[in-house]
């Protein structure tokens, strides 16, 4: 019994650096922008809930590649179209490549060819090896107001 336990702990400590524990979560999604063309304003907000920066080079969201780094305890946005007419930056930002609601908030905003299902679906974030590090289902937009986003609350409820 002692030998099995020793082997387990040795394997655990050897492979731990290969499979880091991510504190990444989806905090908000825009799946069905009513006032603008759907294919341009869909977006996903991610949050890094760890004390270290999270580099996501050559990762994918639902198979669409993207790259960005999230600082510790910070968020970033993956958008369908970052710049140009009817883009995320033209509607929600100031066309400077970052996003935030206040002057001190400057979060990364990167583009990916994502397409989100309006009636509810899944988000799968995979690392550069194609290994899923986050999978989260989201519900349908209730459609009560234009451009209604779906927010994930701290209790894990949309």
| Three-class secondary structure of residue 76 per DSSP | strand
pLDDT recorded at residue 99? 67
pLDDT recorded at residue 17? 41
Per-10-residue mean pLDDT, the chain, length 158 = 50 41 83 66 91 97 96 92 74 64 76 86 95 89 60 62
Output the CA–CA distances (angstroms, integers) from residue 37 to 25, 34, 86, 87, in the order listed: 27, 7, 8, 9
pLDDT recorded at residue 24? 94
d(CA 69, CA 128): 13
Identify the bridge partners of residue 99 per DSSP, sorted by sequence position: 107
24-30 and 43-48 beta bridge pairing: antiparallel
DSSP string, 31-57: ---TTS-HHHH-EEEEEE-SSS-EEEE
Domains belonging to the chain, first-starting first, are 22-151 (2.60.40.1260)
Sign of the dihedral through C-alpha 154, 156, 157, 158: positive
pLDDT recorded at residue 19? 41
pLDDT recorded at residue 146? 53
- Residue 153 in tokens: 């609350």
pLDDT recorded at residue 46? 95
| Nearest Cα to Cα of residue 90 among 150, 33, 143 | 33
């Amino acid at each position: 019994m002692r030998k099995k336990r020793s082997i387990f702990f040795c394997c655990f400590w050897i492979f731990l650096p290969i499979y880091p524990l991510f504190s990444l979560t989806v905090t908000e999604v825009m799946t069905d922008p009513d006032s603008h063309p759907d294919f341009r304003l869909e977006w996903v907000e991610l949050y890094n809930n760890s004390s270290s920066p999270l580099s996501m080079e050559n990762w994918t969201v639902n198979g669409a590649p993207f790259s960005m780094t999230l600082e510790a305890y910070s968020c970033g946005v993956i958008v369908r179209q970052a710049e140009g007419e009817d883009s995320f930056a033209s509607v929600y930002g100031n066309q400077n490549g970052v996003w935030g609601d206040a002057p001190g908030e400057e979060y990364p905003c990167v583009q990916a060819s994502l397409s989100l299902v309006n009636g509810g679906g899944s988000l799968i974030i995979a690392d550069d090896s194609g290994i899923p590090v986050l999978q989260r289902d989201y519900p349908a937009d209730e459609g009560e107001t234009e451009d209604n986003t779906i927010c994930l609350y701290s209790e894990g409820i949309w």
